[in-house]
Amino acid sequence: MWNLLLIPQEFCALQGIEDPHLGYVYHTGVSLLGLENPTKEVGRLETPFFWPAHDWEKMGLVKSLLFLTGAILKDESRYIYYGAAHNRIGTVSLDLKELITEIKSNSHERKLQYR
């Protein structure tokens, strides 16, 4: 599932990722997509944005599961709300400018593959 955040000149895409290599841990990745052509990925974090770290995120109906439910922008911070282990709701905040700078420092150009 993708959550798109409109930012100046681009979309910031937050997506849930299932990683079977980590024992089916569900974490969150982040990409920047072109505003005029959202199939063009401008950059991405090569490591998970956030993942189950607390016991309450790891233990529940579905273990080690994070899924995004929404986001709001307040000042320069983005507050992201997420479900954890199908049992709880959490929030994480981030500085949007810092995140975009980090993504662009890892930037590359490639077309997204859709199935």
Give the other-Cβ count within 10 Å of 12's Cβ.
Answer: 20
Distance between CA 63 and CA 61 in Å, rounded?
Answer: 6
pLDDT at 55: 92
For residue 84, is pLDDT > 50? yes
In contact, 85 and 61? CB cutoff 8 Å: yes
For the beta sheet containing 66-74, the strands, ordered from the edge strand earlier in sequence to the opposite edge, are: 66-74, 77-84, 88-95
Q: What is the pLDDT of residues 39-48, one digit of tens each?
A: 888 888 877 7
Q: 3-class SS at 99?
A: helix
pLDDT at 113: 42
For the beta sheet containing 110-111, the strands, ordered from the edge strand earlier in sequence to the opposite edge, are: 2-7, 10-19, 25-34, 40-44, 110-111
Two tokens, residue 56: 């309450």
In contact, 21 and 94? CB cutoff 8 Å: no
Mean pLDDT computed over 100-113:
63
Q: What is the pLDDT of residues 14-39, one digit of tens each?
A: 666 676 666 677 777 788 888 888 88
In contact, 65 and 50? CB cutoff 8 Å: no
Higher pLDDT, residue 115 or 96: 96
Q: How confident is the model at residue 88 (pLDDT cuts 50, 70, 90)?
A: very high
